[in-house]
Structure 1
């Protein structure tokens, strides 16, 4: 499994609308994506315009190829892209099971 970590900064004052848009995507867009398994969505306490969107995928390619090259990605970006104060920082993490 792969954990996608998206560090998102939103424009000030748009928190409620952004959160509703992300929730809509989590309910309707991501469940349709090949290899999508799980999500967590969190807002920073110290920096209220900062969010972490944690998405679990079966494989890296499920996110980087299957999702990003699909119409679902276009839907996702059209739903939330205008809220971004800057491009999100997106990184992928492996689970280390033998630690």
Structure 2
């Protein structure tokens, strides 16, 4: 399992609309091969900054299966209008836990 961390900067004043769009996009993620779940976090210090933490079975499940699908197109249609800049995305693996 891997974790995708996407840092997303949105346009000021669109926070509630963005959060509603992400909630609508849950189904698009849920239909995706290899998807295991996600959380959306909002920065307290910088309220236009969000981090999406998505769990995938593999990097390829995200970068190939999801990004090449209609589900990704649906996700971007719903949330893309709120982006102030392209999201910064990286993939991590857990190395220590409690």
Specify the alignment match of 1:40 in structure 2.
39
2-structure distance, mates of 1:81, 1:6: 13
Aligned length: 98
SS in 2 for 1:6: strand
Specify the alignment match of 1:81 in structure 2.
80
1-structure distance, mates of 2:72, 2:38: 16
- Structure 1 segments of 4+ aligned residues over 6 angstroms from their partners: none
Normalised to the residue count of structure 1, the TM-score between the two structures is: 0.94
1-structure distance, mates of 2:52, 2:70: 20
SS in 2 for 1:29: helix
Specify the alignment match of 1:7 in structure 2.
7
Normalised to the residue count of structure 2, the TM-score between the two structures is: 0.95
Q: For the aligned residues, what is the CA RMSD?
A: 1.4
